[in-house]
Structure 1
Amino acid sequence: MGIQEERCPNCARLEARIAELEAELRALKTLLGLDSSNSNQPPSKDPPWKPKSERQKSERSSGGQKGHPGKTLKFSDQPDEIQTLPLTGVCSCGTVWDEVEVTDHLARQVHDLPELRLYITEYQAEVKCCPNCGCRGQAAFPEHVPGQVQYGPRLHAFTTFLNVGHFIPLGRVTQITDALFGASISDGTVALNINLASERLEAFENDLKAGLKQQAVLHADETGTKVNGKLNWFHVACFARGTLYTLHEKRGYAAIEAAGVLTDFRGVVVHDAWNTYFRLPGEHALCNAHLLRELRKLDEHDQQPWAGELRRALQQIYHAQKSGTLTEEQKAAFYTRFDELVLAGLEANPVQEPVPKRRGKPKQLPGRNLALRCQQHRAAMLLFLERADVPFDNNQAERDIRMACVKRKVSGGFRSEAGGEAFCRIRSFISTLQKQGLSVWTGLVDVFRGVLPKLHFSC
């Protein structure tokens, strides 16, 4: 009989500890390798060097393309002021130029701002006394002139445009108006302007919500912000002609329900596979830009070939569809290849067994989680192949929610919940105007005049 070696208990504990530390090291290396090209990390957290782009290089040269109309400063036929420059002095032959008749003019123009100052209009209401009964009568002032002295709708619109449209903090808005117009307004005045605009835009928000519910496809996303020092959440529901921003103290379903759009929506919601969105009653489409980034990370960082192959296959089928050359045979072959590669991903990332004496389910490998998601939500990932109105990615919501991120970085959070809600309503109005090709400036001035522009939400 051979001698059976007894296993040292200390050795077993050391091996288990080494395995645990190796797993922790792999996780830390994975975190160090993440950037905006292979994860959901925003570009602002990337290293100084530019990460790789998913866009394929085209044969076109940089700059304006052939046929592009271009923009340049044009000579105006109706200048506001003409300054004639007289020719004086003496010609080389001795003739005095002042005595010679003008035969032509050469013109040059300078396009500049006029002198900036407040334009003050004084309204004088006539007062009369009846010669028969002595009754005193007075003409009525316009509705927009309620007090003895006030600012007008353009200045109200200007301060709101700076704060909500361009995220300039209240204090700097007052500095700008003082420097440009000599108007020493206070932070409180700017805040009152914002609150007034929000009140008058309530009807717009109701129409916007009704218009969103009528769409076939909507995009959704969310991001964090601070309200009175506490974490709150911006939510966006949008499409090509309208944007709805809402603010809530929670990120989950309660916030979506409070917004009053997606919980009643029966069309397709495009999102980034956050689990809460799957509770919505409509159909789902997943953002494949997120999927491509996750596949790149598994391929290049974790050395999993199935992820690279799936990423390339997904890019090829998308570009074939985008160019209009996709055939039914190619589509069927892609579906088969998709399923094969997902199974390969599950095989490359086996189930992690429970750790003795550790509570809860064992954490699965990122590759397995992604492969399981591809298997479970295959129809939602590939819905863009079946419906022409469903996009490949969620870029519409990504672009719209980015403005909330810019606001957070430029001027921080909000002092109150009411201030955040007012910002969201006005920002929804601004974004919708931009999408419909209307002037934001004219729209804001009309709001303070008490007139709302007519907006259309049918695509």
Structure 2
Amino acid sequence: MTLTSGPIVTGQVLWRRVDDKLVSDCVTIDSVPCPTYEQLADLIVAQAAELARLTAHLTKLDAHIARQDARNAELERQLAANSRNSSKPPSSDGLGKPAPKSLRTKTGRKPGGQHGHKGDTLRQITDPDEVIRHEPLSCTGCGEGLTRATEVGVVRRQIFDLPPETIHVTEHQLISRRCHCGTSTRADAPAGVNAPVQYGPRVSAVMVYLYMGQYLSKAHTAHALSELFGKPVSAGTVSAATARAADDLGEFRTEVTARIIASDVVHFDETGFRAVGALHWLYSASTSLLTLVTCHRRRGREAMNAAGILPAFTGIAVHDAWSPYDTYPQLTHALCNAHLLRDLIAVVDHHQAYADDPRSWCWETESHRLFDGDQRPHRYSCEACRSGVVGRASAFDCRRRPHQSDSVPAREGRAETSGVGPTDRGADRGLSEVRGRSARLGLGPG
């Protein structure tokens, strides 16, 4: 602004130029003194400082609100997490368990076995253990006896049943004889005959099968055998039989370990588990035929090395992208699609529940935020595709679920070659069975 040489009136102050300087003549109204130039300058400086302070405070408040919004969103996400959209187990859903929602689309096929499916059914055999003939007593037409009538046909009906179950007791008598020299010598007992009274290998095998194979508790196993065979069986007997069986599995475990290591694809999973009053960790390595579950007091590479699979395995490892798997550089990684789908479902559920406009979301941005910049899922998917063992996936309706990139392994049920399953549910299934036993025994998962 250019000042003239004449007087300038602003408010209660008359300003005029003297020697190229602006000076004021104070005009007093109601005995209020006019501020000096220096006072006004100080006031402007003070107001500028206050404005800067308030601006900085507002910036801090904005940052604080953003942090609070992010925290609230995270808490809301945790509240909405369940077994469908996170890694939480179904037992954690409680009474508010969400209704199951399938990701599969309708195919138009009828439920049940499809055309060409080879079913399994009970069929007659040619050499039954027992044949019982049933003769008609009299003719249904005239009432005459049929003792000497000609046989013109037979209808065969077979019943498959268990024979009467009874305990077969075998007594081993160890004979002692005295030599003419006066020494008495007793015969040696057969292998496995160690006590005056004991259960034989078949009953012990049934104990271990019900306890470990069918996951009955020790008490239920003992009770079932007592009722089936009419002989007393205690929980301690079941424990002793299981311990003996475990001691005999060294060679078997070595063979299973070697076969899993030699496989092209192995599925891995891990979970917490309480044992001997403390938290331990279960590790599962499985193929379509074999599963090895090991227990260790530590979590991480030490336990994985102790299991004996990952240090020597050089094939495709399907897992949940837990970071210790990255410490084995010889592996080809494949991300478990079950985990990926749960994470993407969580993105959709959270946005639809809390976003202002549910139609405006971008799943790529949200999933990148979900993984916090973690590129391992994308890298694992690319490794599996480059290996030529996982087929590409087709995109599906973005309104219902996110698009799946061509670099991501095929959806469940869509893997195309080499028998690579898209999920690690085979490994998880073995752990689930052990966790189920833990829950039934009141131990609870780790």
Does the pair score TM above 0.5? yes
Query: Residue 213 of structure 2 aligns with which residue?
Result: 165
Q: Which has the higher contact order (CA 8 A, sep 6+)?
A: 1
Query: Residue 407 of structure 1 aligns with which residue?
Result: 437
- Residue 125 (structure 1) shift: 5.7
Alignment of 1:384-423 (within 5 A): 384-389=384-389, 391=420, 392-413=422-443
- Residue 165 (structure 1) shift: 0.7
Alignment of 1:341-352 (within 5 A): 341=364, 345=365
Q: Which runs of 5+ in 1 are unaligned?
A: 311-340, 349-365, 415-459
Alignment of 1:199-278 (within 5 A): 199-278=247-326
Query: Residue 421 of structure 1 aligns with which residue?
Result: none
Alignment of 1:269-308 (within 5 A): 269-283=317-331, 284-302=333-351
Decide which of 90, 112, 115 is 2:164's aligned counterpart: 115
The 1-side partners of 2:245 and 2:360 are apart by: 50
AA aligned opposite 2:212: V
Change (3 A) 1:287 1:235: same
The 1-side partners of 2:435 and 2:156 are apart by: 47
Matched position secondary structure for 2:71: helix
Change (3 A) 1:270 1:69: closer
Q: Which deviations, in whole Å up to 9, do the C-alpha atoms of 1:113-134 show, x marking residues without a partner?
A: 222221222345667778x888
AA aligned opposite 1:370: F
Change (3 A) 1:63 1:261: same
Matched position secondary structure for 1:218: strand
- Residue 272 (structure 1) shift: 0.7
The 1-side partners of 2:293 and 2:159 are apart by: 41
Matched position secondary structure for 2:240: helix
Question: Is the contact made by 1:219 and 1:271 (CA closer than 8 Å) also made in structure 2?
Answer: yes
Change (3 A) 1:307 1:21: closer
Change (3 A) 1:76 1:288: closer
- Residue 184 (structure 1) shift: 0.8
Q: Say how many residue pairs are matched.
A: 359
The 2-side partners of 1:73 and 1:215 are apart by: 34
Change (3 A) 1:18 1:145: same
Change (3 A) 1:94 1:394: closer
Q: Which deviations, in whole Å up to 9, do the C-alpha atoms of 1:40-92 show, x marking residues without a partner?
A: 22344444443333334334321001112223332333333344445457977
The 1-side partners of 2:279 and 2:359 are apart by: 39
Query: Residue 192 of structure 2 aligns with which residue?
Result: 144
- Residue 235 (structure 1) shift: 0.7
- Residue 180 (structure 1) shift: 0.3
Query: Residue 30 of structure 1 aligns with which residue?
Result: 77
Change (3 A) 1:412 1:252: farther
Q: Which deviations, in whole Å up to 9, do the C-alpha atoms of 1:421-440 show, x marking residues without a partner?
A: xxxxxxxxxxxxxxxxxxxx
Question: Is the contact made by 1:295 and 1:307 (CA closer than 8 Å) also made in structure 2?
Answer: no
Pair 1:155-2:203 in alignment = yes
- Residue 377 (structure 1) shift: 5.0
Question: Is the contact made by 1:298 and 1:307 (CA closer than 8 Å) also made in structure 2?
Answer: no
The 1-side partners of 2:143 and 2:137 are apart by: 12
Query: Residue 52 of structure 1 aligns with which residue?
Result: 101
AA aligned opposite 1:406: G
The 2-side partners of 1:58 and 1:396 are apart by: 25
The 2-side partners of 1:154 and 1:280 are apart by: 43
- Residue 371 (structure 1) shift: 5.6
Change (3 A) 1:14 1:371: closer
AA aligned opposite 2:378: R
Q: Which deviations, in whole Å up to 9, do the C-alpha atoms of 1:110-156 show, x marking residues without a partner?
A: 322222221222345667778x8888776654323333332111110
Change (3 A) 1:412 1:256: farther
Question: Is the contact made by 1:35 and 1:51 (CA closer than 8 Å) also made in structure 2?
Answer: no
The 1-side partners of 2:266 and 2:171 are apart by: 49
AA aligned opposite 2:424: N
The 2-side partners of 1:294 and 1:373 are apart by: 13
The 1-side partners of 2:265 and 2:68 are apart by: 46
- Residue 174 (structure 1) shift: 0.8
Q: Between 45-54 and 28-37, report the one with greater CA deviation.
A: 45-54
Question: Is the contact made by 2:300 and 2:324 (CA closer than 8 Å) also made in structure 1?
Answer: yes
Q: Which deviations, in whole Å up to 9, do the C-alpha atoms of 1:20-53 show, x marking residues without a partner?
A: 5443332232123223333222344444443333
Query: Residue 381 of structure 1 aligns with which residue?
Result: 381
The 2-side partners of 1:396 and 1:99 are apart by: 62
Question: Is the contact made by 1:299 and 1:307 (CA closer than 8 Å) also made in structure 2?
Answer: no
Q: Between 193-202 and 67-76, report the one with greater CA deviation.
A: 67-76
Matched position secondary structure for 1:301: helix
The 2-side partners of 1:71 and 1:233 are apart by: 38
Question: Is the contact made by 1:226 and 1:412 (CA closer than 8 Å) also made in structure 2?
Answer: no
The 1-side partners of 2:322 and 2:298 are apart by: 14
Question: Is the contact made by 1:160 and 1:194 (CA closer than 8 Å) also made in structure 2?
Answer: yes
Q: Between 239-248 and 296-305, report the one with greater CA deviation.
A: 296-305
Change (3 A) 1:377 1:188: same
Alignment of 1:58-207 (within 5 A): 58-85=107-134, 87-88=136-137, 93=142, 95=144, 97=145, 101=149, 103=151, 105-124=154-173, 140-207=188-255
Change (3 A) 1:252 1:89: same
The 2-side partners of 1:406 and 1:71 are apart by: 29
Q: Which structure's CA Rg is the greater one? A: 2
The 2-side partners of 1:58 and 1:274 are apart by: 35
Instruction: Report percent identity of matched pairs.
Output: 33
Change (3 A) 1:145 1:306: farther
Q: Between 140-149 and 167-176, report the one with greater CA deviation.
A: 140-149
